[in-house]
Amino acid sequence: MNRIDAKFRELRATGQKGFVAYICAGDPNLRATAQLARAFERVGVDVLELGVPFSDPLADGVVNQLAAERALRGGTTLRGVLKTVTSLRRGGLRVPIVFYVYYNVLHHYGLKEFVRDAAIAGVDGALALDLPPEEAGTYGTAMKRAGLHPIYLVAPTTPSERIGKIARHASGFIYYVSREGVTGMQKRLAPAVTSHVAMIRRHSKLPVAIGFGISNPSQARAAARAADAVVVGSAIVNQIAKHGKNRQMAPKVARFVGAMVRGVRRVR
């Protein structure tokens, strides 16, 4: 069973909500990424979302753009990220791993080669940000054949008919973008989140994870009440930027993440 499926089955069996942590792989370097992955697993992160750095991250706000710049300056490549995942799996890391990636990176690497190497490394799914379901036939088929989940976004502006089309292509979970625009920290959660998640659930039995803009424990709890899981990215990446040169960066960031994990766990 794919680790994502197993994790959401476990969460549902215990009546708990999930926590998905996003970081940009290679920020500030891949050794730090491995340290963060292990620290996040210890504090209870349910799914690790690794951003593959790209020079034109059109869906990302300034915090994640700067993280990608730092990673690229440090020489991070998709091949290097895959090697890091391989090493983590060999070291016993069990948390499901999803790649957050732009399709240009996959195209340059080679789709067939990426799917093969990702499966071998121990990746569980991928969210190709700029690949709509209508154009994803070859990608989606190859991913599913390899036992990997192609994950898709649903936006606040997505009409019901299109949600149904996206749901037919998606597997693993559906990522609901809680607000319009790019990634980034926000002061409050959009009020229509609950009704939009309900609309998604009319089309799919897959778990729904809410992301974009969630930046503190209270927002994480509010999002968890509406969905099956919460995705936090920019707020974590901001902590990495703040503590990146500190030898205690991984435990410091993990404490920040752990507080939000505990908040989500209290939601039933």
Active-site residues, by number, are 49, 60
Q: What tokens does 260 get?
A: 């939000």
Report the distance separating Cα 64 and Cα 58, nearest Å.
Answer: 10
* Strands 125-128 vs 149-150: parallel, antiparallel or unpaired: parallel
Report the distance separating Cα 170 and Cα 166, nearest Å.
Answer: 6
Report the distance separating Cα 232 and Cα 261, nearest Å.
Answer: 10
Report the distance separating Cα 99 and Cα 53, nearest Å.
Answer: 10
Contacts of 157 by beta carbon, 8 Å cutoff, 6+ apart: 180
Residues facing residue 231 across a β-bridge: 20
Report the distance separating Cα 85 and Cα 97, nearest Å.
Answer: 8
Give the chain's end-to-end CA distance (angstroms, integer): 25
Contacts of 140 by beta carbon, 8 Å cutoff, 6+ apart: 133, 150, 169
